[in-house]
Amino acid sequence: MSEESRAPSSWTKRIREAMARGYRGYMDRWENRLAARATDRVIREFDWGLEWTRGWPCTARIACDSHDPATYLRLLNEEALRDSSEFFAYRTPSDFRLEENLLRFTSAVATPYPENNTVYGQWFPARADCRRAVLVLPHWNAGFHQHVPLCRGLSRLGISALRLSLPYHDRRMPRELKRADYAVSASVARTIDAARQAVIDSRSCLDWLEIQGCERLGILGTSLGSCYAFLTSAHDERLRANVFNLFALYFADVVWTGLSTRHIRKGMDGRIELEQLREVWRVIAPFTYVDRFARYDKKSLFIYAACDTTFLPEYSLAMLDALRQRKVEHKAVALPCGHYTLGERPFKYLDGYHICSFLLASL
């Protein structure tokens, strides 16, 4: 092949690379504009939050050391991970009540905030067949009515949907908050406790769905909700279909590097390093449970954003690589957008198509 005949392909490659850089720059600017709409972010001071560990099963076996909280939390993580089933164990709530399609019950995890101790689930039953149901876990700081159109769409397609209000979100938000700051924050142990509560509340919702006669159960989590969904599915074999919509293998790294969590990082700077944060948040990190997740025969869809500024694509690809190494059956979809822009047209419609078609085929 002559030099002249190779030139067009070389220029084509350069043009494509330039177009890709231009598109990525455009998406980054769009992401930053959308992120800047939230003007109520608060930089909260870092604290270890040891008082939040008192209700954990592993606490009774480790002597509290308030003089060395980092080591104490690391030891608690190690103890919890010796039997994570115990860490996420619970008693099924006895006060489920459904009024006008709004489910209420008392969380099996007690917190100092009465508002947060009542769990809310919006119920969208399928008209023809209630045997198929999906538990929907929204994104961080989702409002009460967000993800509702998707739930309605699923119910019209014949899949019942139960939308869970996450800990410290919407109706569960303490009065002093404007955002769901207590779900993920610079308080290390409180963030763990919120994740533990989310998993236990999710499993309690699965109990309620079974009471309703639902036999084929799935879970759909978005962003923070996808992390909670992965932890739940790794500890509950009833979930036969999973959709992880914006996901990452890590927890600490996402908080450390993400656009959405810059204010949390500022509260942590100078008080803790990333490696130490990884150690004390191991018990809520998806990578910790990949082997456990791989034990079960589940169908899973992993959707990530190629231009994500919050869950960096490298963390999503790390999850997919971990699944491939363990030969876990899954489907992966990359959308040409970012974390915030996933909620914008046309990407939200592409996202909805992939979610609904997968659940219809898998449940």
For 339-357, what is each residue's pLDDT tens digit?
Answer: 999 999 999 999 999 999 9
For 277-332, what is each residue's pLDDT tens digit?
Answer: 999 999 999 999 999 999 999 999 999 999 999 999 999 999 999 999 999 999 99
Same-domain pairing of 241 and 297:
yes
Predicted pLDDT of residue 294: 98
Same-domain pairing of 73 and 20:
no
Q: How many domains does the chain have?
A: 2
Same-domain pairing of 320 and 337:
yes
Predicted pLDDT of residue 15: 67
Q: What is the CATH number of the domain that holds 80?
A: 3.40.50.1820
Taking residues 196-209, what's their average pLDDT?
98
Predicted pLDDT of residue 178: 95
Same-domain pairing of 179 and 251:
yes
Lowest-confidence region among 54-58, 64-68, 322-326, 329-333: 64-68
Predicted pLDDT of residue 2: 40
Please provide the size of the chain in residues.
363
Same-domain pairing of 21 and 48:
no
Same-domain pairing of 250 and 301:
yes
Same-domain pairing of 95 and 21:
no
Same-domain pairing of 169 and 270:
yes
Closest among 269, 261, 242, 243 to 311, alpha carbons compared = 261
Average pLDDT, the chain: 95
Predicted pLDDT of residue 9: 65
Same-domain pairing of 18 and 161:
no
Inform me whether the pLDDT recorded for 5 exceeds 60: no
Contacts of 71 (CB under 8 A, 6+ apart): 65
Taking residues 131-151, what's their average pLDDT?
98
Same-domain pairing of 30 and 139:
no
Same-domain pairing of 319 and 335:
yes
Which residues form the domain of 296?
42-362
